[in-house]
Amino acid sequence: MAKVALLVFISIFYTTELFAQNTDSLQQVISTSKNPEAKTTAYEALVSHYRTADSILFKKYHDEGITYARSINDREIELKLAHNVTLNLYYSGNYDAAIKRLDSIIPTAKGTDLLTIKAEMLNTKGNSLSALSEYAQALVTFLEYLEVAKKIIPENTRYLASANNNIGMAFLNMERYEQAIPYLKKSLEYQNQIERNFRAHTYWNLGICHMERERYEKALSIFKLGLQEANKKKDTYAAAGNQLCIGSVYTRQEDFLKGLDAYTKAYEMCLDSNMEPYKTIEALNGIIYSYNQLSRPNEALKFIEIADSLTTTHAISDLRNREFLYFKSTTLLQLGRPREANKIHLRYSKAGDSLQNIKNLELIQEKETEFRTKEKEQQLALQEVQLNTQRLWISILGGGALLLALIGFLIYRQQKLKIKHQKQEQELKEALYKVETANKLEEQRIRISKELHDNIGSQLTYLSSAAQNIGLGMQQTPPEITKEKLEELSVFSQEAITDLRDTIWVMNKGTVSWEDLTERIQYLAHKVSNTTNVLVHVDKKGTNDQLLGPDQTINIYRIIQEAVNNALKHAKATKIEILIHLQSQVLVEVNDNGKGYDITQVTKGSHGLYNMESRAKKIQASLDISSNKNGTRVRLQLSK
């Protein structure tokens, strides 16, 4: 069976409660009201109403509304009215004009903070591109639409649902089913939070993705959900679409009795929903195919006659109707009518060529006929040898020139199609790169905010609290104790500044080599030695070209920093050694000659040791701490 035709879903959230009001009262508001907001709202309602009802009144109120909006400097209503023109072009099928007009007004909208208008314009442009089968460009536009939708607060859910749905549709149309699925699922999640106006359509498309990946049971369950949702919303179009796909799943599973029943229901639903003729024929194809597979071709004839009637009435080309031609020829063969079947099958074969190739073939045949006619005339006038020879050469040269021109045209056409395909591929790559970059930036933002919150945030909170306590106690506390507390506060603030600098250093790097990290650790050792008179030695052995990300770097550095702090504050060490073994698996050790401590007792209440273990888990490294009266050893083993 041929792939089920796809629905290009349009999601334009451009409504107003005034549409239902009497148009006379709206016109009265425009004529008599001195309230700018009331007048602009009335203009918006009338333009939206007459967009599909009356082209003359649509233009009248659009032009008046634009003039009035400019007179009161209302950019929002001006852009909304301008967008109505593009919607008018879109719904009339003039997609190129809609895109051209949108390209002229979207830059103006981007220069404002009117996010909903920007979102609606990008959505209209993306759907116009989809209607022209420019799916790669549509995907780029829908991705931009999604970025704007994320900024709309508080009512951004419906825009996020629409944007994710349309991105999934673009991927689906490009037959990138696995990439379409996450966006369609995300759309369904957002639709759970709003009135579900297009949920059945999203189920329809999600089911197609799974069906094309041959996950038939999964697809079937999704199509049934779509059918249920469509019936609940009385959306006969979506109901028919989901039912069509249910029939397709059954026939792909070779369960032709169920397929016949499903397609018969789909055909009736197509008629009830006034679906496009080619989709109705798709349901008829499923019925004919099922009857053929069940060896009941006589019963298929009735539906072939219906499909033939639809084809004639709506002038559906053989190219679009190719699947029906194949099933019709198969039915005729089963009925023992090979001559009729052969004629239909010949049409089916020819329909496989593009329209342009058919025109080229007709042109070649025409020139060949012309050449043979001239040649025959020359043979009949053989006595006029000289004239016959001249005509022959002229015909040969003329025919050769035409053939060369034709070949050149075909080569040019092929090259042009190749360039267009390459351009679409490049646009798709850029779109996917944009998605990947956005995700990486989001991850980076979360890492930075968490690092600042966990470390710098807690330190600043402590500083604020300590400063407040010192201020409150200055009247009752002896000066020497207040001075001591202020000195402690100064030391702690210096540590907070150092932690902030370390965090900024890592985040600015992007990627960090082991040479850079070792140099930073040596700086830490030098600073500790100068301020405490404790010998801190750093020793690096081996080489490793692996680059570390910000998350890895900051966690390794913080573990080493915590181990050094523990050796100074708790173990009372006089010598600390930091060893970095760069092999296939990197090993970092921090050894001190302090008095040691009981690991089991310290771990229960030690926030510092808990942080070290937590950081090791984040970078999928193993942390081992051993301690006795001769000192403490901290071993950090990194995975490959």
Q: How do residues 64-78 score in pLDDT, each as one tens digit? A: 777 877 777 777 777
Residue 6 pLDDT level (bands cut at 50, 70, 90)? very low
**Cα gap 421→415, rounded to integer Å:** 10
- Asked whether residue 427 falls in the same domain as residue 480, the answer is yes
Give the pLDDT of residue 355: 41
Mean pLDDT of the region 187-216: 89
Residue 1 pLDDT level (bands cut at 50, 70, 90)? very low
Structure tokens at 251: 């026939």
- Asked whether residue 464 falls in the same domain as residue 528, the answer is no
- Asked whether residue 2 falls in the same domain as residue 113, the answer is yes
- Asked whether residue 471 falls in the same domain as residue 576, the answer is no
Which CATH number characterizes residue 141's domain? 1.25.40.10
Residue 8 pLDDT level (bands cut at 50, 70, 90)? very low
Domain that holds residue 587: 510-637
Q: Is 582 in a helix, a strand, or coil?
A: strand
Q: Which of these three, 103, 125, 153, is where a domain ends?
A: 153
Give the pLDDT of residue 195: 72
- Asked whether residue 52 falls in the same domain as residue 80, the answer is yes
Give the pLDDT of residue 106: 87
Q: Is residue 295 part of a domain?
A: no
Average pLDDT, the chain: 79
In one-letter notation, the amino acid at residue 55 is: S
**Cα gap 37→508, rounded to integer Å:** 49
- Asked whether residue 538 falls in the same domain as residue 629, the answer is yes
Q: Is residue 351 part of a domain?
A: no
Mean pLDDT of the region 579-608: 79
Give the pLDDT of residue 129: 92
Percent of the chain with pLDDT over 70: 76
pLDDT(3) > 70: no
Mean pLDDT of the region 145-152: 88
User: Judging by beta carbons within 10 Å of its beta carbon (0-12, 13-18, 19+), is residue 403 exposed, middle or buried?
Assistant: middle
Residue pointed to by tokens 């005729």: 332
Answer for the pair 146, 158: CB distance below 8 angstroms, yes or no. Answer: no
Q: Which of these three, 153, 171, 205, is where a domain ends?
A: 153
Answer for the pair 525, 568: CB distance below 8 angstroms, yes or no. Answer: no
Answer for the pair 594, 633: CB distance below 8 angstroms, yes or no. Answer: no
Q: Which of these three, 134, 153, 172, is where a domain ends?
A: 153
Which CATH number characterizes residue 566's domain? 3.30.565.10
- Asked whether residue 547 falls in the same domain as residue 565, the answer is yes
Give the pLDDT of residue 614: 86
**Which residues, in sequence order, are CB contacts of 314 under 8 Å at separation 6+?**
277
Residue spans of beta strands (DSSP E) within 543-611: 575-582, 587-592
**Tens digits of per-residue pLDDT, 481-524?**
766 666 666 665 666 676 666 666 666 666 888 888 888 888 88
Mean pLDDT of the region 109-125: 86
Give the pLDDT of residue 461: 54
pLDDT(471) > 50: yes
CA distances from 198 to 164, 167, 187 (A): 12, 15, 10
Cis peptide bond prior to 154, omega within 30° of 0: yes
The partner residues of 625 in beta bridges, in order of sequence, read: 634
How many domains in the chain?
Answer: 3
- Asked whether residue 519 falls in the same domain as residue 461, the answer is no
- Asked whether residue 8 falls in the same domain as residue 145, the answer is yes
pLDDT(313) > 70: yes
Model confidence, pTM:
0.51
**Tens digits of per-residue pLDDT, 267-302?**
999 999 888 888 899 999 999 999 999 999 999 999
- Asked whether residue 540 falls in the same domain as residue 463, the answer is no
**Tens digits of per-residue pLDDT, 565-581?**
888 888 788 899 999 99
- Asked whether residue 576 falls in the same domain as residue 524, the answer is yes
Q: Is residue 380 part of a domain?
A: no
**Cα gap 110→191, rounded to integer Å:** 27
Answer for the pair 267, 244: CB distance below 8 angstroms, yes or no. Answer: no
**Cα gap 130→166, rounded to integer Å:** 9
Looking at per-residue pLDDT, the higher value among 153 and 524 belongs to: 524
Residue 354 pLDDT level (bands cut at 50, 70, 90)? very low
Q: Is residue 59 part of a domain?
A: yes
Give the pLDDT of residue 322: 86
- Asked whether residue 21 falls in the same domain as residue 64, the answer is yes
**Tens digits of per-residue pLDDT, 218-259?**
999 999 999 999 999 899 999 999 999 999 999 999 999 999
Helices 385-451 and 479-509: crossing angle in degrees, nearest 10, is: 170
User: Judging by beta carbons within 10 Å of its beta carbon (0-12, 13-18, 19+), is residue 134 exposed, middle or buried?
Assistant: buried
